């Protein structure tokens, strides 16, 4: 019987969500899975340093080096399969994945998005843009969503959501930090544990 689900985290930037996941594993919030690999599509992503400091294996795959989206995805699949990855977590991964890739890992890829889907999501909605759109609309409540990844940006089945209040005088930066702290860093580890446990149950059946 498999003891733990092997998790790979795909990153592009600073790795604050990766840090939240590593902290959650360390504290026992994530106990059905273990982070075995961090893959970046940006060689200067600070997330790689975070992973290396924690003794986690890292890999870098860039579209530029691979020459095409197809070869880029093939190389990521090769690395993930070599590590016998069970669950893939997108943590600020700035690359849209094709249907071919998402179908290959059906119900095995999860992502965190900084809004309450279906609001402020889909193509073009990432990073501060999401929070700018929420403030421009005048919403009083925003939040974050963890969902399964399919070929439609932010279109997969929702796993978990958490609401966050919008405050008077919020800037996109202030709101982004509050959503990360109060929602993303809570529900991403919780969803990672939930999905890891489900994958383990499936392998036992």
Question: Class of the 5-204 domain?
Answer: alpha beta
Nearest to 85 by CA among 105, 101, 102: 105
Contact predicate 166/132, CB 8 Å: no
Find the length of the chain. Answer: 205
Mapping DSSP to helix (H, G, I), strand (E, B) and coil, where does residue 13 land?
Answer: coil
What pLDDT shows up at residue 14? Answer: 93
Active site residues: 113
**Cα angle 182, 18, 183; round to 5:** 15
At residue 203, the pLDDT reads: 74
| Beta carbons within 8 Å of 43's beta carbon, 6+ residues apart | 60, 62
**Interior angle at CA 100, CA 99 and CA 105, nearest 5:** 95
Give dist(CA 32, CA 28) in Å, integer. Answer: 9
Q: What is the pLDDT of residues 40-67, one digit of tens each?
A: 999 999 999 999 999 999 999 999 999 9
Average confidence (pLDDT) per 10 residues, the chain, 205 residues = 90 95 97 98 96 97 93 96 97 91 96 96 91 97 97 94 97 97 98 96 77
pLDDT of residue 1: 58
How far apart CA 88 and CA 110 sit, in angstroms, is 6
pLDDT score for 205? 65
3-state secondary structure of 70: helix
DSSP state letter for 181 = I
Structure letter (DSSP) for residue 79? H
Q: In this predicted structure, what is the pLDDT of residue 202?
A: 86
In the 8-state DSSP scheme, what is residue 119?
Answer: S
> How far lies 76's CA from each of 16, 32, 49, 99, in Å?
22, 24, 19, 14
Instruction: Return the DSSP state at 203.
Output: H
- Alpha-carbon span 163 to 200, nearest angstrom: 29
> H-helix or E-strand containing 84?
none
- Given this model, what pLDDT does residue 142 score? 98
């Amino acid at each position: 019987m498999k003891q733990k689900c092997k998790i790979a985290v795909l990153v592009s930037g600073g790795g604050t969500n990766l840090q939240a996941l590593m902290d959650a594993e360390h504290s026992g919030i994530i106990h059905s899975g273990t982070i075995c690999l961090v893959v970046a599509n940006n060689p200067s992503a600070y997330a790689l340093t975070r992973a290396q400091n924690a003794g986690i294996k890292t890999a870098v795959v860039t579209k530029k080096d691979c020459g095409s989206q197809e070869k880029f995805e093939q190389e990521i699949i090769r690395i993930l399969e070599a590590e016998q990855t069970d669950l893939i977590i997108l943590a600020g991964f700035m690359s849209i994945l094709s249907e071919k890739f998402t179908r290959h890992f059906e119900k095995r890829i999860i992502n965190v998005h900084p809004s309450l889907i279906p609001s402020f999501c889909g193509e073009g909605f990432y990073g501060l843009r999401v929070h700018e759109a929420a403030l421009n609309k005048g919403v009083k409540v925003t939040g974050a969503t963890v969902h399964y990844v399919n070929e439609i940006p932010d279109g997969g089945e929702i796993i978990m959501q958490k609401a966050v209040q919008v405050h008077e005088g919020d800037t996109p930066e202030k709101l982004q930090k509050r959503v990360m702290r109060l929602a993303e860093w809570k529900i991403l580890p919780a969803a990672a544990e939930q999905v890891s446990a489900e994958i383990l149950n499936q392998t036992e059946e």
